[in-house]
């Protein structure tokens, strides 16, 4: 169920104690039972074969090979249909699922530390969201670092949003979503749309997002309990992506700018993730600026667990994305403000 967590406690079913959670944080549990057997097996596999893998020199090529193998493993099966498209100079894919697409459009910004791509995995996640939302998704293949330093990725993502508007997609029918680095790009895209005076999309959805590239070292220090992300991987991001740029530039790090005037945001993150602090910070800054942001912390779920279609927690999380998007879809295309209806529920 959804509830407030008054104090720190151990995770359901034992294991490492959970970090202290703020009292205004939504904690996703099912009568305090431990994570599903599938989730526990996935966490164990991540720890054994990914996080604890012996890499003497964790370089960019090694990281890209690792992500490619994860894409082959976790991206198997699925029902995503992909069609290449030129989104006004940005290479992209139109993605649909099994269900016929309705009027909605999902702009999905993939993760990968700004350095990597996992096309099968992300196409599968986008296709599942399409089925739930009655949408088709545009996934831009934004330029990657270090070949194209930031903010090249930011520029490609706002360009893709402008292209959707130019194609006649009503802003009130657009949901912008992203995971990890793509979650940071989601915030950046919403900021750039606001600053350019573009009509805002209906809402934003962020899975395990970053928001502050000046705090990557803090995330690395918090990676001990994360079943997937290692301190080495985060330090690689700091070395390859952050060193050549100014991480306190508001054109690059959303947390360095204002998060006011954005559409409603839903943030989902695992309780032991290295990026829990960044996810929490994005929500706090949005609320402090007068915006609407909902934070859901899922006990012991790994980074972007929503992508694992066979996890029961993933299915429940995406059903909540659908409820959130439905609640914040202006029925008459009006301005954002008070949500169409309060979003509560049982998971």
- Tell me the pLDDT of the chain (347 aa) as tens digits: 333 333 333 333 334 444 454 545 576 654 456 899 999 999 999 998 888 764 444 688 888 887 888 888 776 556 889 999 999 999 999 999 998 899 999 999 999 999 999 998 999 999 999 999 999 999 999 999 999 999 999 999 999 999 999 999 999 999 999 999 999 999 999 999 999 999 999 999 999 999 999 999 999 999 999 999 999 889 999 999 999 999 999 999 999 999 999 999 999 999 999 999 999 999 999 999 999 999 999 999 999 999 999 999 999 999 999 999 999 986 654 444 333 333 323 23
Cβ atoms < 10 Å from Cβ of 286: 27
pLDDT of residue 25: 56
pLDDT of residue 59: 83
pLDDT of residue 123: 94
Helix (H, G, I), strand (E, B) or coil at 306: helix
**Catalytic residue chosen out of the listed positions 180, 208, 253, 314:** 180
C-alpha of 175 from chain center? 13
**Long-range pairs for 27-32 at CB < 8 Å and ≥24 separation?**
27/2, 27/3, 27/271, 27/296, 27/297, 27/299, 28/2, 28/296, 28/297, 28/298, 28/299, 28/313, 28/316, 28/317, 28/347, 29/1, 29/3, 29/299, 29/347, 30/1, 30/347, 31/1
Q: Is residue 227 packed enough to be buried (19+ CB in 10 Å), middle (13-18) or exposed (0-12)?
A: buried
Q: Is 273 a catalytic residue?
A: yes
Per the CB < 8 A criterion, the answer to whether 106 and 126 are in contact is yes
pLDDT of residue 71: 82
pLDDT of residue 335: 43
**Catalytic residue chosen out of the listed positions 5, 273, 296, 313:** 273
pLDDT of residue 190: 98
**Catalytic residue chosen out of the listed positions 303, 328, 336, 343:** 303
Rounded Cα distance between 268 and 277, Å, is 12
pLDDT of residue 141: 97
């Amino acid at each position: 169920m959804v509830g407030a967590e008054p104090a720190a406690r151990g995770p359901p079913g034992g294991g490492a104690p959970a970090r202290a959670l703020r009292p205004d944080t939504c904690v996703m549990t099912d009568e305090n039972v431990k994570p599903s057997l599938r989730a526990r097996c996935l966490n164990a596999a991540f720890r054994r074969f990914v996080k604890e893998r012996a890499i003497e020199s964790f370089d960019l090529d090694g990281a890209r090979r690792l992500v490619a193998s994860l894409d082959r493993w976790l991206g198997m099966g699925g029902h995503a249909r992909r069609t290449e498209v030129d989104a006004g100079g940005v290479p992209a894919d139109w993605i649909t699922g099994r269900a016929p697409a309705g009027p909605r459009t999902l702009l999905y910004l993939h993760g990968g530390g700004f350095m990597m791509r996992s096309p099968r995995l992300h196409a599968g996640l986008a296709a599942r969201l399409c089925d739930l939302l009655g949408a088709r998704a545009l996934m831009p293949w934004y330029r990657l670092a270090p070949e194209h330093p930031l903010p090249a990725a930011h520029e490609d993502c706002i360009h893709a949003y402008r292209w959707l508007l130019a194609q006649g997609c009503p802003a009130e029918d657009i949901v912008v979503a992203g995971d990890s680095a793509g979650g940071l790009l989601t915030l950046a895209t919403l900021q750039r749309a606001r600053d350019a005076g573009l009509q805002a999309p209906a809402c934003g959805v962020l899975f395990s997002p970053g928001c502050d590239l000046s705090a990557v070292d803090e995330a690395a220090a918090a990676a001990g309990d994360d079943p997937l992300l290692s301190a080495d991987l985060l330090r690689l991001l700091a070395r390859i992506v952050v060193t050549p740029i100014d991480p306190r530039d508001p054109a690059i790090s959303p947390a360095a700018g204002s998060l006011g005037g954005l559409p409603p945001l839903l943030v989902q993150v695992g309780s032991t993730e290295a990026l829990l602090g960044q996810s929490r910070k994005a929500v706090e800054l949005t609320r402090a600026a007068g915006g609407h942001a909902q934070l859901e912390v899922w006990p012991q779920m790994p980074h972007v667990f929503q992508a694992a279609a066979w996890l029961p927690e993933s299915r429940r999380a995406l059903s909540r994305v659908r409820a959130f998007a439905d609640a914040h879809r202006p029925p008459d295309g009006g301005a954002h403000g008070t949500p169409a209806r309060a979003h509560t529920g049982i998971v």
